[in-house]
Structure 1
Amino acid sequence: MYTHHKLEEMLPPECKRYAPIIAVCLRRCRKEWGKVGYLTIHESYVQEGATQRRPGLHIESPGNLPDDPFIEAHAYHRFYCWGGGNFGTGIDGHLDQFGKVNVEGGIFMASNMDDTCRVWDCMISEHWDVTFALGNIEHMRGVIGEGVNMKANKLFWITDRTPHESLKQSKPGFRQFFRLVTSELSAWYQQHNMENSVGTKPPCDIIYENKFV
């Protein structure tokens, strides 16, 4: 079993203090032990009315873009997996020692501030038919019901087909955002990510272009 002490040995110095949170994630997602994960730590002061992360309703897997001449996208935005994710009794050893449901793959997220991210308790199963550039599903807002605002210091798990959005902050403050994307990744964007300083390389395609262009 991974402990936060073992994880500290694998993490870059600036990430070591997040080892206890990562250990909690891996205890619920045991098939990820020994695999490469992708860590996001964003710490910054955010003004009132601003968002720290990407706004707009979206999922992390862009899926397949429609054949529309007015939409430009690189080929690597199609059929793109960014963490995957499954849960429930179909997973071997689906309950842990505390009776909690284990999960497979997916994305773990947390923040130190209330109401700065909203998630929906649903999954876009055939996302390749309805997803626009970079996972944009704003056009589906009226049909997926009400979302749930994430609360401070609570760890959330979603799939890469789970709708979510960053929210404008109701007050200014220093926000810490944590995200762990599990190993099922189709591509890694060099321009938008930092290489691991201890030498671990992503075992997937490396994209050198800007994904927002």
Structure 2
Amino acid sequence: MSFQERGRMAFPEYTGARCYMMPFIQGRGDSLPEAFASYREVVDRFALPDQEGELGLITIDESFVEAGRSQRGYGAGGRTIHTEACLSGENLSWGPTWGPSPFVRLERSTRALIANSLPDTCMVWDVDVEDTTRDGDLSARADQFPREAGRMMDAGEVIEIGIFTPHEPIRQRHSGPRQFFRIVGHGVHGREDYFTRNEHLERMGLLH
């Protein structure tokens, strides 16, 4: 199964908090810096299966989105469909691969948990797609992913996906704040300069 529901979460009060692929300890809310303390209860509750206590990477994106736009869209066409993995030749990487050798290498078994605060703003498909572009974009092939064949996520619904699971941020009908939450599990090797550091975890001596 490409995706699986893992429960429901209550998003904390919106503050505009943002971090990207920040290291933390799965299942340990105290491994988050004070700036993200409102998410500690969520982290205590959710971890990838059999990965509690292991290193993970968390993304929190709280931002105001205008009507007719999607919070995390970047696709090449009228719709934005993508996978977390980017495949270029034999290289399986995270994020756009601008150089000949990606900084971050992925294992095929890498999984992620995703959730968002608004209903009807993210759709997932129960398939694995490996023949993606160098930046994971499938938008030019949108006709292969009809929305009636996908699963629209509810607000606070936590879904486990694989790195080859296609998903699509949906344009919001109304302007307003949206909160996105993601945990990436083991199988990520290396880091990009733009990944958020967790100095709190470093001071705890849990990150080497």
TM-score with structure 2 setting the length: 0.69
2:142 match: 141
1:116-127 residue pairs with structure 2 within 5 A? 116-124=121-129, 127=130
C-alpha distance in 2 between matches for 1:133 and 1:182 = 22
Pick aligned residue for 1:29 from 32, 49, 52: 49
Bigger mean CA deviation after superposition, 165-174 or 142-151: 142-151
**Higher strand proportion (structure 1 or 2):** 2
Q: How many corresponding residue pairs?
A: 167
Instruction: Please state whether the residue corresponding to 1:168 is helix, strand or coil.
Output: coil
Write the distance in 1 (CA, Å) between the matches of 2:87 and 2:136.
7
Instruction: Determine the C-alpha separation between the residues in 1 that align with 2:103 and 2:58.
Output: 23
Query: How far is the alpha carbon of 1:65 from its aligned partner?
Result: 4.9
Q: Shift of residue 115 of structure 1?
A: 1.3
Q: Does the 8 A contact of 1:22 with 1:180 survive in 2?
A: no
Q: 2:16 is matched with which residue?
A: none
Aligned residue number for residue 112 of structure 2: 107
**Could you tell me whether the CA contact under 8 Å between 1:61 and 1:80 is conserved in 2?**
no
Residues 1:79 and 1:22: Cα distance change in structure 2 (over 3 Å): closer
**Residue 63 of structure 1: aligned partner:** 87
**1:160 to 1:46, Cα distance in 2 relative to 1, 3 A:** same
- Residue 35 of structure 2 corresponds to 14
Deviation at 1:36, TM superposition (A): 1.4
Q: Distance in 1 between matches of 2:150 and 2:101?
A: 29
Indicate yes or no: 2:181 matched with 1:181: no
Runs of 5+ in structure 1 lacking a partner? 1-5, 67-71, 86-104, 204-213
Unmatched 5+ stretches in structure 2: 1-26, 75-79, 91-96
Which of 166, 169, 174 is the matching residue for 1:171? 174
SS in 2 for 1:39: strand
User: Which of 161, 166, 178 in structure 1 is aligned with 2:164?
Assistant: 161
Q: Does 1:76 align with 2:101?
A: yes
2-structure distance, mates of 1:10, 1:108: 18
AA at the equivalent of 1:24: R
Identity of aligned residues (%): 25
Greater Cα radius of gyration, structure 1 or 2: 1
- Normalising by structure 1, what TM-score? 0.68
Structure 2 distance, partners of 1:51, 1:110, is 15
State the distance in 2 between where 1:142 and 1:202 align.
44
